[in-house]
Every structure is written in C-alpha cells, then in structure tokens.
C-alpha cells in the first residue's frame, strides 16, 4: 500500500518515513511546495502530514491536500499536521502553556483510543511545539489524549475525526523518547487497513 508523506520541511520527516516502511507501508515523501495536481497523479492509500515549522496556513500545499483528500483517504497528522487537521475542521490554534521543544510529557489516552490499542493508559511522548489546539473542539473532532501530571492544565495531544479515519497527534511518535511511537503508527496502519498487521513482537 502506498502512503504520501507530505514533508513540511522538517528534520524528523525521514525518521517518520523509516518507521512507516519498517511497518510494511510503501512511503513516498513529497515536499509541501509540490502543486496539488502533481500529487493527484498518484493513487494513494493514505496520507501522513509531517511536523514542521510555523503555522498550518503557511505550510504550502498542506491545507489544499486536506481539503481535497479528507473525505477520500485516511490521514495522520503529526505536530504541525495535527494542527492543520484541527484547524481545517474549525478548531482554534493558540499558544501552549509553555514552549515544549524536546521535552517529554506523560500523555493520558481516552479509553478505546485506536492509536493507543495495546498500550498503557498513560505513555511518554516527546513534544516540539509552542502552539496547541484549543478545547472545546468542534463536534466533528474527538479528543483522544491529553497531557497529565505536569504543571498547568491538561493540553490536547491527540484527536480523530468523528466519522472519517483522520487522526492527529501533537507529539512526535517517531522521536526516540516516545518509546511507544512505533506501536502507535502500527495501530494507525492497522486501523486504516493500509498495511498488513505486523507481529506483536515487532510493534
């Protein structure tokens, strides 16, 4: 199965691509300065929106990719990609309680969250961001995870669309200090039927 990994000019993109390939997906990395019609020439089975600097509105073709494909293909947004999905469906983006660049937080998952299937209810996650999606979320979006046990109020760390297979994580699942990140990516692939299930020992 073929994934489009839309690269928002981020140093983590190729690590993310490597994880997804290890899990059985064919990954094609294209930067966000590629015109949408060029991306439409390939038949994709799913789309991953990478981390990156800045705000979603300034991330090249990414908003147009979401607008075109959101009702057609599964998506996973990571960090900036997560924020872009949230904004597309009407969520508000604002300043986090404090900038988190290379910091690890405990993340508490909602019961039954597909991305956290088989994982502990609370997992460590590496964060590189200064903006977060505000709550309450629009009715189309469902919160899946929040920070827990840290200073300040809980902040949104993961979401999904209420009807379509669209997911977002504010943290970096591909970071070394997110030990369950590979399993989260495997869960997304399984949930979206993009790649064959991998043996539990591998994910």
How far apart, in whole angstroms, are the C-alpha atoms of residue 75 and residue 83? Answer: 13
Per the listing, tokens 């199965």 go with: 1
Active-site residue among 79, 82, 155, 192?
A: 79
How far apart, in whole angstroms, are the C-alpha atoms of residue 7 and residue 89? Answer: 21
Among candidate residues 120, 96, 90, 98, the one with its CA nearest the CA of residue 107: 120
How far apart, in whole angstroms, are the C-alpha atoms of residue 120 and residue 109? Answer: 8
Alpha helix segments (H runs only) across the chain:
13-22, 36-39, 62-69, 80-88, 181-191
Told to judge if 192 belongs to the known catalytic residues of this protein, a careful annotator would answer no
Told to judge if 174 belongs to the known catalytic residues of this protein, a careful annotator would answer yes
Active-site residue among 82, 155, 174, 192?
A: 174
Task: Report the 10 Å Cβ neighbour count for 111.
Answer: 6
Instruction: Check: CB of residue 167 under 8 Å from CB of residue 159.
Output: yes
How far apart, in whole angstroms, are the C-alpha atoms of residue 147 and residue 5? Answer: 26
Active-site residue among 146, 161, 172, 192?
A: 172
Told to judge if 79 belongs to the known catalytic residues of this protein, a careful annotator would answer yes
What residues act catalytically? 79, 172, 174
């Amino acid at each position: 199965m073929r994934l489009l990994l839309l690269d928002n000019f981020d140093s983590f993109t190729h690590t993310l691509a490597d994880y997804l390939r290890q899990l059985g997906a064919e990954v094609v990395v294209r930067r966000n300065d590629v015109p949408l019609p060029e991306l439409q020439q390939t038949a994709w089975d799913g789309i991953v929106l990478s981390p990156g600097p800045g705000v979603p509105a300034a991330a090249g073709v990414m908003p147009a990719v979401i607008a075109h494909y959101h009702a057609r293909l599964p998506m996973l947004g990571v960090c900036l990609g997560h924020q872009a999905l949230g904004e597309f469906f009407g969520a508000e983006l604002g300043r986090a309680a404090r900038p988190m660049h290379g910091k690890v937080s405990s993340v508490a998952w909602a019961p039954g969250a597909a991305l956290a299937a088989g994982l502990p209810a609370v997992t460590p996650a590496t964060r590189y961001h200064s903006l977060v999606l505000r709550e309450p979320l629009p009715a189309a979006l469902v919160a899946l995870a929040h920070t827990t046990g840290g200073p300040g109020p809980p902040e949104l760390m993961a979401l999904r669309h209420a009807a379509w297979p669209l997911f977002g994580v504010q943290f970096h699942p591909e970071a070394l200090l997110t030990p369950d990140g590979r399993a989260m990516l495997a869960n997304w692939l399984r949930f979206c039927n993009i790649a064959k299930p991998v043996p539990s020992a591998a994910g």
